[in-house]
Each structure stands twice: as structure tokens, then as C-alpha cells.
């Protein structure tokens, strides 16, 4: 199939790339560009070369399908060097998204003309990579060192207006960018190749300062320091030496574990919403949403829909709680404006879409009603019983439960086919994960609606079966069991937190417990003192909310180790007759991770999780799992399932049959 077209128009050679859907830089496209440069150079009828793309976008990057295959010539650096060495000027007419290798192609041209809606960026860092075809070298020459660092290390695109200001493009086209590119070529027949442009002088210390300022964001990642090193080389070395270093750094990253992990997650995220059994199923229309509960979770859920332009009716039991919820929604959306995540017009429109009520009857016209009330079965079934009477026929009823039986809740509403679990993660307006829990009788179009709605509100959906804790919290319960077991046996909760945070998690289990509240599901009337958490709560240590939990907290909520909590833990161990011993960091990490992985294998065998990659996405987007390890199941596979089985056995655990099967399959 022809994926490019070359012609001479008005004395200018025009190469049109046509490789749907995103004009990826496949081997055929790379060869076509080299051939076009050579043909233009040899043709006396052509004064210059214009490169453009058919369809909705310019080249949106490399063909990711080639990453794990033997490299095919010509390589992208060969294309870039051919363009830079062209004896006749080359201009790219840009539109749509100009990303990765596509931007490297554009930067290798003598000039760049872009349509107003164009987005330009180098997103390789998001796959654990860096620009590997002169991208760092050319970008620094066009926009300067500071801007190049920001673009390449963040991976975020900029719009055409910003690109014009920065010097990344030469013309912002007001009409057809192809016509504007021809005009530019006719006026710039002696344009200088990008690699011959000087880099604006700057103190090299700026690079170290940038890495220091972003140390938290780049923690654990190999790509940003490599990008910074390549940009520094652009300042210090001749072009060809710096380009060779960039390529060497790129190839090392591409062969490394972080890029494998991040490429796995890239594919995993795109697979979560693809359920073959839903092909051809039409989602139900969702034009109005009801949310029951104006607490932290309910208000966060409401904000998602409001900012997506979907009207929300918020229902609470009393005026005070409802007023607090409405105020929280307004304050949060205003905060989005202040932080530039939302513009003022969008915020005002979102606010106008909110209706607050104390009456369940206000939900009668909602297409979707989400219960976000207290996490007990009695409360949730009581709400669903009322919804069975109030909701219109065909309305979808959803529970935000994080642990409870969705089928039991659905039965209370009398509409099991219309019922689904929509487990948002706190804060619900920020966290990307939406765990969609399919009940035994959930209708296919209800599931399809949930998946479509997740995309509409910017969430990553993962479909789970109905089981205690579903995917994420069922595995979390295992980690919590292991962590609390270790502290009764002599391990320090503060060391355990440091070990897990050193692995890359944002918080260890005990800091998370304090943040969520140790009193969740606890009451003084029913407390038996049979767990450490109960004893802490009995002592008034409920976590951050009381400035005391596993940690002590100052007035700014900064944690410090607590002698009181340590005494409570030691007393509990003595009462239970639990022997004390020392724990090393390796054992701590193994006990925190591998029993979780074994539980993940059980979820696969039971059909609660559809795939190992779904489990990885739950932990990445819902719990802050370090992306550069690819998620718990990918990390275990990279470690070697057989090694995981062996370490579990050494710790005294009996691995599941499924985990043993995974080890056998891996060989």
C-alpha cells in the first residue's frame, strides 16, 4: 500500500505522508523522506522540499510496534541527518499533533509552518525514553536550554502560539499551512540548517537547578537525567559528538527495564476499556447524574461530572451537611481556576449545573444515580431500597462501595440488571482510577455506559468482578495484614514505611492508615481491642484527624515517630505472646509485595480481574504504584515468577496454584 506521494508543484517538491491513523514513522515512511530529499536535490525543476501529512495530524511519532523488533533501516537518525544535509531548503507544514519523532523530523527541516490548532511535543519520557534522533540537540538550538529541558523532561506538548514565541516554529499560518510553507520556502532559499544554529548562552548550573527543583517529580526515573545530560552535551560538545551521546543514552534507555515497564503500562491503559463482549453494544445516554452523599467522596464524584458539563443533583440528609458539600464543590472548582487546571468560564458553567436537595424525589429524572454514603451494608441497602422506588425506569443505579457485595446492594434496589459498582478513589476529582464492578446480573449496556462515561470524565476504567475489595482493596488488605503482622513481631512501622517509600510508593502503609483514618468502621461500643488499630483508636489515636495515630503530627500535619504508639504496639505483642525479632529491608519488602502478587494471581484465577495488566493499572492509577516498575504483576514477571514463588516459600507461605502456573508458563 502506498503511504506517501511525491510530486513537483510550482517548482517545489512536495512529499505527502499518508500512513493512517497517525502517520507513524514506519520504515516505509522513513525511506520515503530520505528518497524525497535525494530526489529534490537531484531535480533541477525543484528548488526546495515541502513535507506535509494527509489526515488529521502530522507525524505523531515512531511506530511503537517496531520497538521490540529488529531495527529496520533507514533509522530515524539517518533521516534526520539527510534532511539536515539537504543542499536545498526543506520546510514542514504542520497540523494536528507533532510528537516525538514527528517533531524531530520537523526540527530537522530548515523551516516550520504550523496551523493554529497544532500541538508540538517530545513525549518519549512518558515511555521511559528520551528523544533519540537528535531531538535534544535540535530543540536546544531552537528554543534554548531551559525550554528544551522543560519540554523534553515533562513530555507535555505546547500549542502553536507558544511554539512560535519559543522559536520552535517560524510561521503561524492563518490559512492553509501548505500554502504558507510554500511562501516561506520561496523567501528563505538560503536558510541555515538547525544543527548549525548556535545554542543561546546560559549558565550550565541551570540544568542542575532544574533537576533539583523537580527531584520529587523525577524520583526513581532514569530518563530525565539522561535528557539533561544530552542537553548539557549540546552545550559542551561539537554537534556530532553530542548527537552520538544522545543516541547512546537513548539506546540504553530503550533496552532498560524502565522503558519496558512504561511501554507495558502504555498498552495496558489502552486495553482496560476493550471488552470483546461489548462490541456493538450501545451505551445508555447520560444527561443528568444524581449523587447521594455530600461528604468528601460524594463531592469529589460530583465535581467530575460538573467539569465534564453534566448536570448533577446532590442529595443529603440534612441542610448542614448539604451546605458543606455545596461549599466544598465551589471551593474546589475555584481552586482549579487558581491553579489553571480550569478556566473561569468552565468553572462558572460547572457551578450552574449543580442542584442541591434534601429530597430523593429530586433524583427522579437522573439517568445515573451514584450512592456515596457511609461504608456499611445497612446504610447502602437502605439507600438502594429507596432508589428502587424513586429512580426512573432505565436509570442506572451505582454504588461507590470500596469493599462490599455489589450483588447484595443491587438486590435491595430490585433492579440488578441496572446496577453496577463505580468505585472512585479519593480524592475522586483527582485520582484517575475508576474501578467498575460488574455484578452477577449487570446488563451489558450498563457496563458499556460505565466505560464510556469513564472516558467522558477523564478516568481510567478497570472492570472487576464482584468480590470483597474487588481488585485493588483486596490486594491492599493483604499488604496491610502483612505490615501489621510485622510490627507485632518486632519491625518498626516507621522502617516499614521507609522501605515501601524507598521502593517508590508515595506513602507507606502506616502513613496511609493515619491519612485515611484508623477509625474507619470502628466504634467504641463494639471495639474488642483484638487488633492494634482498635487499641490505637481506644487510646484516641485515630490518625491525622486527631494528630495522633501510628505517628504523632504537629500543627502542620507533619509526622514524627510516636513513643506512645510504639508502647501500644509492644503491649499488644506482649498480651498476645508474640515473639520479637529483627527485620531486614529485603524481608520487609518481600512480605509487603509478594503476598500481594499471590493475591493478584488468585484474582486472575477467580476471574475477578480480567488480566494481569488490569491489576497493574489499578495499582498505578489508584494507589500510586511506581510507574517505572510497571505494576505489581509486571514487576513480579520481570523479577521472575519462579523467584517470587521461592521467596514466598522461604517466608513460610504456600503460593497459590495460579502463581505456580505463571512460574511454569514463564519457564
Residue 222 is inside which H or E element, if any? none
Residue 353: CB atoms within 10 Å? 18
> Sheet holding 12-17: strands in order across?
4-9, 12-17, 49-53, 90-94, 111-114, 171-172
Q: Is the peptide bond before 74 cis (omega within 30 degrees of 0)?
A: yes
- Give the Cα separation of 290 and 456 in Å (integer): 16
User: Is 484 considered catalytic here?
Assistant: no
Task: Let me know: does 113 contact 170? Beta carbons within 8 Å.
Answer: yes
Backbone angles phi, psi at 533, to 5 degrees: -60, -40
Question: Residue 315 has what DSSP assignment?
Answer: E
Q: Cell triple for residue 282?
A: 450501545
With b meaning 16 or more CB within 10 Å and e meaning fewer, what string describes 151-170? bbbbbebbebebbbebebbb
Residue 298: CB atoms within 10 Å? 27
**Cβ neighbours of residue 247 closer than 8 Å, sequence gap 6 or more:** 77, 132, 133
Task: Let me know: does 633 contact 614? Beta carbons within 8 Å.
Answer: no
- Give the Cα separation of 122 and 130 in Å (integer): 8
Looking at 104, 316, 371, 482, which residue is catalytic? 104
Looking at 124, 269, 482, 534, which residue is catalytic? 124
- Give the Cα separation of 264 and 250 in Å (integer): 18
Q: Cell triple for residue 7?
A: 510530486
Q: How far is CA 161 from CA 60, 154, 177, 623, in A?
A: 19, 19, 14, 37
Task: Let me know: does 5 contact 18? Beta carbons within 8 Å.
Answer: yes
User: Is 654 considered catalytic here?
Assistant: no
Task: Let me know: does 601 contact 659? Beta carbons within 8 Å.
Answer: yes
Q: How far is CA 579 from CA 388, 481, 487, 555, in A?
A: 53, 17, 11, 36
Count the alpha carbons within 13 Å of 192 in the hemisphere toward its beta carbon. 8
Q: What is the dihedral of CA 257, 262, 265, 269, to 10 degrees?
A: -170
Angle 477-480-601 (CA atoms, 0-180°, nearest 5)?
50
Among all residues, which ones are annotated catalytic? 104, 124
Amino acid at each position: 500500500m502506498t503511504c506517501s506521494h511525491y510530486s513537483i508543484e510550482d517548482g517545489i517538491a512536495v512529499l505527502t505522508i499518508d500512513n493512517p491513523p497517525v502517520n507513524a514513522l514506519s520504515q516505509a515512511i522513513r525511506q520515503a523522506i530520505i528518497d524525497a530529499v535525494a530526489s529534490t536535490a537531484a531535480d533541477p525543476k525543484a528548488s526546495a522540499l515541502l513535507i506535509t501529512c494527509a489526515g488529521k495530524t502530522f507525524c505523531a511519532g515512531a511506530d511503537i510496534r517496531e520497538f521490540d523488533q529488529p531495527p529496520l533501516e533507514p533509522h530515524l537518525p539517518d533521516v534526520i541527518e539527510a534532511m539536515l544535509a539537504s543542499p536545498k531548503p526543506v520546510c514542514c507544514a504542520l497540523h494536528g499533533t507533532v510528537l516525538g519523532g514527528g517533531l524531530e523530523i520537523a526540527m530537522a527541516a530548515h523551516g516550520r509552518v504550523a496551523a493554529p490548532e497544532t500541538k508540538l511535543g517530545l513525549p518519549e519520557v512518558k515511555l521511559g525514553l528520551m528523544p533519540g534522533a537528535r531531538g535534544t540537540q535540535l530543540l536546544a538550538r531552537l528554543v534554548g536550554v531551559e525550554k528544551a529541558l522543560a519540554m523534553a523532561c515533562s513530555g507535555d506538548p505546547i500549542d502553536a502560539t507558544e511554539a512560535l514565541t519559543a522559536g520552535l516554529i517560524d510561521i503561524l499560518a492563518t490559512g492553509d499551512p501548505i500554502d504558507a510553507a510554500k511562501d516561506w520556502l520561496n523567501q528563505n532559499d538560503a536558510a541555515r540548517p538547525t544543527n548549525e544554529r548556535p545554542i543561546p548562552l546560559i549558565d550550565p548550573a541551570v540544568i542542575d537547578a532544574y533537576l533539583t527543583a523537580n527531584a520529587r517529580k523525577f524520583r526513581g526515573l532514569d530518563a530525565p537525567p539522561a535528557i539533561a545530560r544530552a542537553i548539557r552535551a549540546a552545550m559542551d560538545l561539537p554537534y556530532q559528538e553530542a548527537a552520538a551521546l544522545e543516541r547512546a543514552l537513548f539506546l540504553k534507555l530503550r533496552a532498560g527495564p524502565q522503558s519496558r515497564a512504561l511501554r507495558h503500562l502504555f498498552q495496558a491503559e489502552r486495553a482496560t476499556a476493550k471488552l470483546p463482549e461489548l462490541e456493538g453494544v450501545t451505551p445508555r445516554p447520560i444527561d443528568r447524574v444524581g449523587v447521594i452523599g455530600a461528604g468528601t467522596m460524594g463531592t469529589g464524584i460530583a465535581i467530575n461530572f460538573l467539569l465534564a458539563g453534566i448536570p448533577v443533583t446532590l442529595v443529603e440528609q440534612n441542610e448542614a451537611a448539604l451546605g458543606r458539600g455545596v461549599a466544598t464543590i465551589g471551593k474546589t472548582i475555584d481552586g482549579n481556576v487558581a491553579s489553571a487546571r480550569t478556566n473561569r468560564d468552565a468553572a462558572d458553567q460547572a457551578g450552574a449545573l449543580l442542584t442541591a436537595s434534601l429530597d430523593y424525589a429530586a433524583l427522579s429524572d437522573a439517568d445515573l444515580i451514584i450512592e456515596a454514603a457511609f461504608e456499611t451494608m445497612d446504610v447502602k441497602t437502605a439507600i438502594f431500597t429507596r432508589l428502587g422506588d424513586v429512580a426512573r425506569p432505565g436509570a442506572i443505579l451505582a454504588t461507590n462501595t470500596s469493599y462490599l457485595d455489589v450483588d447484595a446492594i443491587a438486590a435491595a434496589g430490585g433492579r440488578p440488571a441496572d446496577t453496577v459498582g463505580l468505585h472512585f478513589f479519593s480524592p475522586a476529582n483527582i485520582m484517575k482510577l475508576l474501578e467498575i464492578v460488574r455484578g452477577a446480573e449487570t446488563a451489558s449496556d450498563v457496563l458499556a455506559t460505565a466505560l464510556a462515561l469513564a472516558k467522558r470524565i477523564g478516568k481510567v476504567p478497570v472492570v472487576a468482578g464482584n468480590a470483597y475489595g474487588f481488585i485493588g482493596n483486596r490486594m491492599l488488605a493483604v499488604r496491610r495484614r502483612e505490615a501489621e503482622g510485622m510490627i507485632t513481631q518486632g519491625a518498626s512501622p516507621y522502617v516499614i514505611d521507609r522501605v515501601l517509600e524507598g521502593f517508590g510508593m508515595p506513602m507507606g502503609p502506616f502513613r496511609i492508615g493515619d491519612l485515611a483514618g484508623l477509625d474507619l468502621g470502628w466504634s467504641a461500643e463494639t471495639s474488642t481491642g483484638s487488633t492494634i488499630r482498635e487499641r490505637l483508636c481506644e487510646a484516641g489515636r485515630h490518625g491525622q484527624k486527631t494528630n495522633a495515630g501510628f505517628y504523632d503530627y504537629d500543627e502542620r500535619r507533619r509526622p514524627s515517630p510516636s513513643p506512645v504508639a510504639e508502647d501500644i504496639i509492644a503491649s499488644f505483642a506482649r498480651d498476645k505472646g508474640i515473639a520479637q525479632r529483627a527485620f531486614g529491608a529485603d524481608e520487609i519488602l518481600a512480605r509487603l509485595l509478594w503476598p500481594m502478587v499471590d493475591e493478584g494471581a488468585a484474582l486472575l484465577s477467580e476471574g475477578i480481574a480480567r488480566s494481569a495488566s488490569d491489576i497493574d493499572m489499578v495499582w498505578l492509577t489508584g494507589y500510586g504504584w511506581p510507574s517505572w516498575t510497571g505494576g505489581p504483576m509486571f514487576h513480579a514477571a520481570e523479577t521472575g515468577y519462579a523467584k517470587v514463588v521461592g521467596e514466598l516459600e522461604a517466608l513460610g507461605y504456600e503460593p497459590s496454584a495460579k502463581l505456580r502456573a505463571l512460574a511454569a508458563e514463564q519457564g
